[in-house]
Amino acid sequence: MKKILLMTLSAVMGMTGLKAQTWPATPHDLAASDFNFTSWPAASAANTYPAAMRFYFLGNTGDPLAADTIAEDYAGAYNLTSGTRMNGVGTDGFSFINTGSSNLSANGYKLGAAVLALNTTGRAGVQVSWTGKTIVPNNRTFLVRLYYRVGNTGAWNPVMDGTNYVEYARNNTAGHTQNISAVTLPAAVNNQALVQLEWKYFMADTNTATGARPQLAVTNINVSSISLSAVSRIHTNVTALDFHSRVGVSSSIDSVMISGGNIATAIDILAAAPFEISETYAGTYGTAISVPSAGDTVTPRYIYVKYTPVAAGTDNGTISLVSGLAVQNVALAGTAYASSDPAPVALKTNTYTFTEWDPAAPAATYPEYTVFHYTTASNPKPTHLPLAGDWHCGYDLTSRPRFNGLEDNGVSFINTGSAQYDDCVSGSNNNNVYVGGIVVGLNTQEVDSVVLDYTLQLLTRGDGAVAREYEVRLQYRTGTDADFEDFAVPVVFSSENRSELDSVRVSFSLDAALLNRSGMQLRWLYCELDVPGAGGSRPAFRLDDVQVKGYIRPISVRELGNKGVAFYPNPVKPGQDLVFDRPVSGKVYDLTGRALKTFTDATALATEDLHTGMYIIRTTDGGAARFIVE
């Protein structure tokens, strides 16, 4: 039986000229010459092909579509006048035509594809041009589209000219031709032992006609390249940048170092909003820069990049660097947050206190100098980034993630498995709102030290067999466009190894580096610890009795004398001016160190608002003196 079946299959292959699918045996070596194809005679023998090429049926017994793939070799003659066939059409090259009959394929497959094999070793800047022609229009809309791949396995990729396919579509006029201008193939095909190009003939998805299929031809194929050593090259020190910022606020500025070799023209650099670029750190930012070359070189230099989002969410973009055939891209990603910043309390004149929060406080209101923030993570991890947005619900909720006002016991917070409702009552929770943190704004200018005190309490633990563990982590940042940072010795209150209602009173002085800041912030971040296999509910915490107080060091009269400041009279009568020997700038202090008056380039100082007593003058150039109002 096996012998009979084999004889039958051999007979079929002999009658139809069918061959199993094979690829062109010898790729054309572009290092030796450009590839050119200009004609294919009708008298060419069956089972032969142009140099470095081969023709194929697609795996479809009906009208083939773009998604159909190569199934088997075409091994018929090239002078047939009926049925599905490929024809040699002389200087018009080769043509495809499908009909209702496909007797040349034992499987009934339809045409078709032509594949060209190339060796691009040592070559780059590979360009392809060709001509498409309508031999016979007929009714149905077919086209020939160009594809490529590296090697002889894997998916075929369409060759693109910008955003357009490189293709020739059937024309209503017999004999119509279209020259497909040279298009540069992607850099992935450079310096490869085998690259395949495919001209695929198929029916357009938009076809609504019936009747005969068109006969379309391909000719004048030219593939050119340049030596890899002559290729223009653009180099960058990074291939991707990541930004984050609040809506409407520019991010911190990052940089990309660029350079180029064999550059014949300037490097044109483009970015798309909301990303912007500049040649200088403090320069004007926009979406286009042109960097000239010196000879054929661009020496290493930096370009600067920032991100200014217009809406909350994520943005993706690209910095595109182009010079001739040289192209280099840097991927850009940005995350925009809608969280706001609290107004800073001036610790020079005020003390920040938080000792109570009313459960009936209106939604989207906060204690003075404070904002509550939410995150979109159901089990938030420690982060230094801003949180997603401002808490917009009330403070008397009993389910789902929530901040609760506890009257004179401060505020509590807890997350749950489900996000808070978008309207804080019921319905959808598409916004993924979870408790994130509490932020306080501080102005630490003109104080000599700052002391922070607060109480944290663990209200409830998680109830899982392996309990979830959370912590409240104190962080700071020195400006509203900076990331948050942990203190050198992390300030953390964790549920781990604690019992419910355990509490701690924290008290410490801020580092000197955090003084003289007009808009620094403290953040209590509520976040999950990594506990393998943990489940169940999340721990709840309470924050209360927060005080941030600035201190000014009293000035010792003994340490002053009169250093670098001359004035008269001293003592001075109330309402009488002090007269300086030169224009000076500085401040007047009382003996507790409290600043009372500021003066700039003054030659005299009015004293009518000063009571009887001793005062200190400190000038901006380091002078100091005492005077008395009698």
388 shares its domain with 289: no
Task: State residue 2's pLDDT score.
Answer: 39
Task: State residue 18's pLDDT score.
Answer: 43
Task: State residue 574's pLDDT score.
Answer: 81
pLDDT greater than 90 at residue 269? yes
Distance CA 346, CA 367 (A): 16
Pair 293, 251: CB distance under 8 Å: no
Task: State residue 557's pLDDT score.
Answer: 40
Give the CATH number of the domain where residue 359 resides.
Answer: 2.60.120.260
pLDDT greater than 90 at residue 176? yes
Give the CATH number of the domain where residue 581 resides.
Answer: 2.60.40
* pLDDT tens, residue by residue, 211-256: 999 999 999 999 999 887 777 789 999 999 998 888 888 888 999 9
303 shares its domain with 361: no
Task: Count the helix, strand and coil residues of the chain and give each as a percent rounded to the nearest 5.
Answer: 5, 50, 50
Q: Which residues neighbour 197 within 8 Å (Cβ) at sequence distance 6 or greater? A: 115, 116, 118, 128, 146, 147, 148, 159, 223
Task: State residue 555's pLDDT score.
Answer: 47
pLDDT greater than 80 at residue 5? no
Distance CA 201, CA 70 (A): 11
401 shares its domain with 422: yes
Which of the residue ranges 417-431, 492-506, 524-538 would you say has the lowest mean pLDDT? 417-431
Amino acid at 540: A
Residue bearing the bigger pLDDT, 479 or 358: 358
343 backbone φψ class: left, alpha, beta (φ>0; ψ -120 to 50)? beta
Last residue of a domain, one of 530, 551, 572: 551
H helix and E strand count, the chain: 1, 43
Residue bearing the bigger pLDDT, 592 or 288: 288
Percent of the chain with pLDDT over 90: 69
Integer CA distances (angstroms), 383 to 40, 327, 398, 466, in order: 66, 36, 27, 24
Pair 596, 590: CB distance under 8 Å: yes
Query: Average pLDDT, stretch 551-572?
Result: 63
Task: State residue 564's pLDDT score.
Answer: 61
* pLDDT tens, residue by residue, 577-604: 888 888 889 898 887 777 889 999 999 9
108 shares its domain with 192: yes
**Whole-number CA gyration radius for the chain:** 39
Residue bearing the bigger pLDDT, 15 or 72: 72
* 180 phi/psi in degrees, rounded to 5: -90, 110
Percent of the chain with pLDDT over 70: 95
393 shares its domain with 453: yes
pLDDT greater than 60 at residue 89? yes
pLDDT greater than 60 at residue 1? no
* pLDDT tens, residue by residue, 460-507: 999 999 999 999 999 999 988 788 999 999 999 999 999 999 999 999
538 shares its domain with 579: no
Secondary structure of residue 599 in the 3-state scheme: strand
Q: Which residues neighbour 302 within 8 Å (Cβ) at sequence distance 6 or greater? A: 255, 256, 257, 258
Q: Which residues neighbour 551 within 8 Å (Cβ) at sequence distance 6 or greater? A: 447, 448, 449, 450, 451
Number of domains in the chain: 4
Task: State residue 556's pLDDT score.
Answer: 43
Domain that holds residue 587: 557-629
Instruction: Work out the burial of residue 292: count CB atoms within 10 Å of its CB; fewer than 13 is exposed, 13-18 middle, 19 or more buried.
Output: exposed
Query: Average pLDDT, stretch 553-566?
Result: 51
pLDDT tier, 552 (very low <50, low <70, confident <90, very high otherwise):
confident
Distance CA 445, CA 287 (A): 38
Last residue of a domain, one of 229, 253, 286: 229
| HSE of 392, CA atoms in CB hemisphere, 13 A | 16
Which of the residue ranges 274-288, 320-334, 394-408 would you say has the lowest mean pLDDT? 320-334
299 shares its domain with 442: no
172 shares its domain with 280: no
Task: State residue 57's pLDDT score.
Answer: 96
317 shares its domain with 366: no
Integer CA distances (angstroms), 246 to 308, 314, 333, 482, in order: 8, 11, 14, 11
Which stretch, 143-157, 256-270, 419-433, has highest mean pLDDT?
143-157
Last residue of a domain, one of 185, 209, 229: 229
Task: State residue 20's pLDDT score.
Answer: 62
522 shares its domain with 384: yes
113 shares its domain with 59: yes
Give the CATH number of the domain where residue 203 resides.
Answer: 2.60.120
Distance CA 605, CA 617 (A): 10
> If you average pLDDT over every residue of the chain, what do you get?
90
Residue bearing the bigger pLDDT, 263 or 307: 307
Query: Average pLDDT, stretch 281-298?
Result: 90
Burial profile 200-230: b = 16 or more Cβ within 10 angstroms, e = fewer: bbbbbeebeeeeebbbbbbbbbebbbbebee
97 shares its domain with 208: yes
Task: State residue 446's pLDDT score.
Answer: 86
